[in-house]
Amino acid sequence: MTDKGPSNRSHLPALHALAEVGASLGKRAGVRGFYIGQKMTDGEYGAGCSVVCIVDKKLPKSKLSRSERIPKRLSFEELGHKRQIQTDVLQNHRTISEQGLFNPGDPIRGVSREDNTVRATVGAFGVHTDFGPVFVTAGHFTQILDRRRTIRIADRRSASRELINVRIRSVVRANGIDYALLAPTGGASNASFRNVPIVSSYQPILRSDVGQRLFVLARGQQVPTICRGLNMTYRVPRTGEVLENLIVTDPVTVRGDSGGALVDEHFRLWGLVIGVASFRSGGRVKRASIYMPAFKFLSMESMVLGGP
């Protein structure tokens, strides 16, 4: 189930701006990406929304032609009215890198009894039409695994820290879509999944979604964070792959959190952790955690969040 929120709250105006000017911004020399988010000054976030442009290097206006400059404000039309929205320009510091739980937040560990390394994190649990009960996590961690082998998930609620065996059923990685479905093997009972709190998803499209207090379920904790940007488009330097519709928050994730759930106070699933990025603003480096929105995998898989 996807909840788009109350209808009386206004949609994010920057969505309209991005629809009209996003393609042209992305074609400008040196532009790495853009998203809808809070304007940053000297590494600190301010109030209000802007179209944030990520560039390879910030240059003085004297070294840019008129066509290469990012305007201070963008014009767009909304419901027949002309509107404007401010812009912000951040210098790319490091490319987006990958962060490489049974219950959301529980760790996915190695492929052998001796390997206790946390490889990724369970983001959600659901029932799939074809695969039955499945755990959802990030897809990129499966690159190092043999899909025929068993993976282990540690149940943090079990006094014995029981390890549940799972097999990879589906992996999708393309254009910012990054998820894997893991199906339990052997004697995993339905009772094991009854306390999974995530039963619905949310697609952030409202002005008030930027700045919203959120939580990442990882490392057995609810790690607080704040939404700083939406609908991020980013072109990966090495591969040229274009990542789309990403969510940006304060930097609260670490290696091994990949696949962890980003939720609001109602435990609605916003997205899954896929990596980190960093930008320069006023000489300061600002890191951010990056997420794939939940609607991407839910629109591709025939499944229902939560247990039966």
pLDDT-derived band of residue 5, with 50, 70 and 90 as boundaries?
very low
Identify the architecture of domain 98-196 in CATH.
Answer: Beta Barrel (2.40)
Q: Which of 25-34, 77-86, 288-297 has the highest mean pLDDT?
A: 288-297
What pTM did the predictor assign? 0.83
Mean pLDDT of 58-70: 82
pLDDT-derived band of residue 97, with 50, 70 and 90 as boundaries?
low
Containing 27, the helix (H) or strand (E) segment is: helix 13-27
Q: Rounded to the nearest 5 degrees, what angle is found at the Cα of 266, between the Cα atoms of 230 and 220?
A: 90
pLDDT-derived band of residue 198, with 50, 70 and 90 as boundaries?
confident
Instruction: Give Cα 190 distance to the centre of its chain.
Output: 29
Domain range summary for the chain, segments of one domain joined by +: 98-196
Closest by CA to 36, choosing from 233, 306, 305, 203, is: 233
Determine the Cα–Cα distance for residues 37 and 288; give it in Å rounded to an integer.
12
Q: What is the pLDDT of residues 205-259, one digit of tens each?
A: 777 898 999 999 988 789 999 999 998 888 877 777 788 889 999 999 888 888 8
Q: Which residue has the higher pLDDT, 50 or 162?
A: 50
Q: 């939560």: which residue's tokens?
A: 306
Q: 């939720």: which residue's tokens?
A: 263
Closest by CA to 55, choosing from 75, 85, 25, 84, is: 25
Determine the Cα–Cα distance for residues 293 and 177; give it in Å rounded to an integer.
9
